[in-house]
Structure 1
Amino acid sequence: MLKMMLAAFAAAMPLQSALAQTGAETEAELPGRLDSYFQMTPETLEGYAPEGNELGMTTQLFSFVGREDLTQRLQENAYRRPACSVLREDGLQAVVEAVGDARVVMINEAHDDPYHRWVIARLAEALAPDFTVFAAETFSNEGDVETLVPEASMDIGWYSGEPIYGRQLRTLVDLGYRFAAYEITQEQRLVDPSEGFMASIAEREEAQAVNFIANALEAYPDARILVHVGYAHLSEVGGEDDDDTSRWFAARLRDKTGIDPLTITQTSCNVESGAPIAALTESPLVDGSNLPDTQRQPGWVDLFLGRPPMSFTDGRPDWRYEIGDKPVAVPEDFLAEEGRVIIEARAPGEDLEMIPVERLMLYPGETLPLLLPEGEWVLTAWTEDGAFGDPVTVSAPSAP
C-alpha cells in the first residue's frame, strides 16, 4: 500500500507542475488545457505500454478525457483494490452518522477514478448546511487565494478540470460552499532533489498543513470544513516505523491544531465479490481492518468506503448510466479520419473556460457515445490543431 501511495504522489507532482506550464500560449488555438490533454496522452494506442510514472500520468489523463476504459486496458487491475467485507450498504449515511461534532471531514480519491468525485459531491450534499467550506488539493494556491471564487472554472485547479469533478464543484457552488486552497506553493518548495523523495513528501505535507490552518481554519474560524485529498494525504499516522518524514497532511494537521479530522478512504477497498450493494453508485461502508497497512499502522484512517465493481457499456462506465446520464451519439462531423479528437459539452451560452459536463477523446475509427445529463447541450470538438467543425447543439432525452 505504501508503494502505491508513493507512486501516486510521484505521478501527481508532474501533473501539478504541468498546470503552471499550460495556459495563455495556447489559448488562441485550444481552450483551457486541451493542449496538455493531447500532449500527455498517446497519439496512437497501438503498441503503447507505459510503465511507472508514465503509466500513472497517462491513466490520470485518460480520466480527464472520458477514457477510463483505456486505463483498464493498460492496467487490468486499475480499479481493483483488496476485497473488504460490507458492514453497511448505506455507506454515506454511515459517514454522516459518524461525523458527530467533527469540525474537519477529510475524504480521498484516486486521481484516475472520477467515481470518487461523484461520491464526494453526494457527501457534500449530505453535510450541508452544517459544513460550509470546501478545501481541495486541486485548488491552485498561487497568488491571492482570498479571491478564490467558488465556480467550476478550468483555471481553478488541475484535477478539477475533469468533467465529473466539474459537476462536483457545481454542486458545491449551488449548496453555497466557500472554497479554500492549501496546496504547497512554489515559494515553499525549498528541498533540493538530492535530499531524496521522502524529503519532498515531508515538505509538501508540512506546507499543506500550514496553508490549511491559514486559508481554511483561520480564514473561516466558525466553519466546518470538508476536505478533498488524494490517496494518502489523509493518513493520520506516520509511515513505516513511524518515520516522521512520511507523516502526511492529516497527521501534521492534528499535531499542530489538536483537531482530529474524521478521515474516510475510498482508495483502499473494493466491495467483495457477491456482496450485497444497493447500486453501482452506492459505496458501502466496509471493514478495512484486515488490510496489510492497517495491520502495520492501526488507526491510519477512520472509515473505509468500498468501491463497487467497475464495468463498462459501449466503452463508458456503467455507473455513469446509473446516475442518469444518457448516451448521445457523437455527430458524424466530429469523427476525425486521422488523429484524435476531443469533444466537450457545455450548457448553451457557457464560456469555454468553464469545466464541461462531459469530455470525450476519440481515436480514429472509434464511436463511443457521449454521456450527458438530461437537457440541451452545446458540443465543441477539437484536434491538436484547434477547433474541428462548428459547435453543434444536442439534446439528452429525459427518462421514460
Structure 2
Amino acid sequence: MLGAAGAGFARATPVWPQEALSNDELFFNEGRYLPTYLDLKARSEAGEEAARQMLSQFAAFLGDEETAVGLYEQPPRSSVVPPDLDGAVARDALEAITEAARDSRIVILNEAHNVSGHRAFAARVMRALRPLGYDWFAAETFTQPQPVPLVRIGAYTKGAPFLSRYGYYTDDPVFAEMVREAARLGYRFSDYEQRFDQRAPEGADSAAQIAAREEAQADNLIANILSTHPEARVFVYVGYSHAMEVEGRGGLWFAARLKAKTGIDPLTIEQSMNWPALAPQNDAPHVAAVLARFSPEAPIVASKDGESIATPNYAGKMDLSVFHPRVAPVAGRPGWLAADPERRRVTIKVPPLDELVLIQALSMAETTAGPPSDHYLLPPGASEATFFLHPGRYFFRQETAAGIQPAFGALSVD
C-alpha cells in the first residue's frame, strides 16, 4: 500500500532541451563540410568580406577550385613590370629540390592556404625527400598542445586512423592524404605552432604579434625535434612568408629565426605566389612571364645569372621558387591531381542526384575517423564520379544539405 501510495507522488522525468549544432560543430564533430561551405558562400555573396576570405580557403577543402582560386582573381595592375627573362633558364622543380636537399638537413616549403594543388606538390616533395634520409615531417597546421582536445600529431603512425583533430588544413583530403602517405613511408611527425601561452601580450601591435609567433615556432621546432633528435632531417610545410630565411616585409620570420638559432641553413622554397590563375589574363606578371617563356608541362624553377626568379616580395628571400604549369582538367577533376603518379583514376556510377552533393571516397581501413581520401562537389543530374586514389579499399557516400547519407558502394584499388 505504501508503495502504491508513494507511486502517486512520483515526479515526471524532465525532458531536457536541446540546442541545434553550429556549423563549426557539424564540421569538427560530424565531418560535415556543406553547412559551413554553403553558409560562407551565402554570406560572401551578401557582401561580408570576412566570410569571403574564409570561403576562399574552405572551398579548397571541397575541391571547388573555381571559388578557392578564382574568388580573388583580377587582372594585374598595368604598373607592375614583369621580370626580364632574357638569358633565364629553367629546370624540373623536383630534380632541383632533390639535388639541393642532399646538402641540407631542413627543407621548408610554403603554400597558399587556398590552393590544394600546392599540397599535391608538397606530397611529391615529401616523397622525394624520404630516400635522402628525411625522416621528420612538421607542419604549421598541426594542432599545438592544448588541454582539449588532447590530440597531437606526434601520436600518428602508419596504420592508425588519421584524425581530423590533428590539424585544420588537413581537413583538405589532399593534405590528409599527404600525411597518410608520409606515415606509410616512415616519417615521424611534430607540431611546432605557437602555443597560447607564447602569444604576444594583449594589445600588442601586428609587428609584435608576428615576432612572438615566429620566435615561438622556431623554439618549438627545436624543442620538439632537433634538441632530442640531433641527426634528424626535417621537412617543414608552412604558409606564405614563414619560409623567408632573410628579413623582409613583416620582419624576421620562422625560417630566418630557425637558421639563426640552430646554425643550420635550411633549403627554403616558395610556391605560394606562383600558381597560375584560372583565367590566363589574371596571371601575376611574373607568373605570366615564366609560363610564356618556358611553357612548362611540370613544376619548374627558373633562374637568371644564378639568381632565382621569384615574386617581387620574395625575391632573394628564399632559395628556390616553384612555378606550376597551367594544366587542363581530367574528367572534371584538377589536372594536377591526375598527374600524381601514385594515384589511380577510378570512375564509378553514383545514385541519382537531384541536388548538389559532396561525393566522397573513404578508406575502409580508417572508416569515418578522419577526412575522406578524396571528394568533390557533384551537380544535380550527374551519373558518374571520378576519383584519384592511392591503392587500397574504399567505400563511397554522399553528403547532402540534409546530412551524410549511407554508403552506397565499395571497391578495391590496385
- TM-score using structure 1 length: 0.77
Which of 209, 214, 217 in structure 2 is aligned with 1:205? Answer: 214
1:383 aligns with 2:382: no
1:302 aligns with 2:319: yes
Contact 1:90 1:284 in 2 (8 A): yes
Residue from 335, 357, 371 that aligns with 1:341: 357
Secondary structure at the counterpart of residue 354 of structure 1: coil
Match of 1:357 in 2: 373
Greater Rg over alpha carbons, structure: 2
Aligned equivalent of 1:219, options 221, 228, 232: 228
How far has the Cα of 1:238 moved from its partner? Answer: 2.1
Question: Who is 1:251 aligned against?
Answer: 256
Could you tell me which amino acid in structure 1 is paired with residue 260 of structure 2? Answer: D
1:48 and 2:67 equivalent? no
* Contact 1:346-1:378 at 8 Å conserved across structures: yes
For residue 136 of structure 1, the aligned residue among 139, 147, 150 is 139
Contact (CA 8 Å) 1:153, 1:355: kept in 2 or not? yes
User: Which sections of structure 2, spanning at least 5 residues, go unmatched?
Assistant: 1-21, 275-286
Give the counterpart letter for 2:169 in structure 1.
Answer: Y
Report percent identity of matched pairs: 31
Q: Give the equivalent residue in structure 1 for 2:188.
A: 178
Write the mapping of 1:100-139 to structure 2, written as runs, cut at 5 A.
100-129=102-131, 130-139=133-142
Which amino acid in structure 2 is aligned with residue 175 of structure 1? L
Flag the 1:82–1:362 CA change in 2: closer, same or farther, 3 A. farther
Q: Secondary structure at 1:55's aligned position in 2?
A: helix
1:1-400 alignment runs, 5 A limit: 26=26, 31-32=30-31, 34=32, 38-42=35-39, 48=45, 52-76=49-73, 87-129=89-131, 130-143=133-146, 145=152, 147-150=154-157, 152-192=162-202, 194-240=203-249, 246-269=251-274, 270=287, 272-276=290-294, 279=297, 282-287=298-303, 288-289=308-309, 291-294=311-314, 299-309=316-326, 311-312=328-329, 315-323=332-340, 325-326=344-345, 328=347, 331-333=350-352, 335-337=353-355, 341-362=357-378, 369-373=385-389, 377-388=394-405, 390-395=406-411
The CA deviation at 1:327 is 5.9
Q: How many residues align?
A: 359
Deviation of 1:301 (Å) = 0.4
Question: Structure 1: which 5+ runs fail to align?
Answer: 1-20
Equivalent position amino acid for 1:174 in 2:
R
Give the 3-state SS of the residue equivalent to 1:74 in structure 2.
Answer: coil
After TM superposition, give the deviation of residue 258 of structure 1 in Å: 1.6
Structure-2 change in CA distance of 1:278 and 1:325 (3 Å): farther
CA RMSD between the two structures: 3.5
Aligned in 2, Cα 1:374/1:93: closer, same or farther, shift over 3 Å? Answer: closer
> What is the alpha-carbon distance in structure 2 between the residues aligned to residue 356 and residue 291 of structure 1?
34
- Name the CA distance, whole Å, in 2 between partners of 1:30 and 1:136: 22
Deviations 1:334-368 (A, max 9, x none): x353xx53332112353211331112234666778
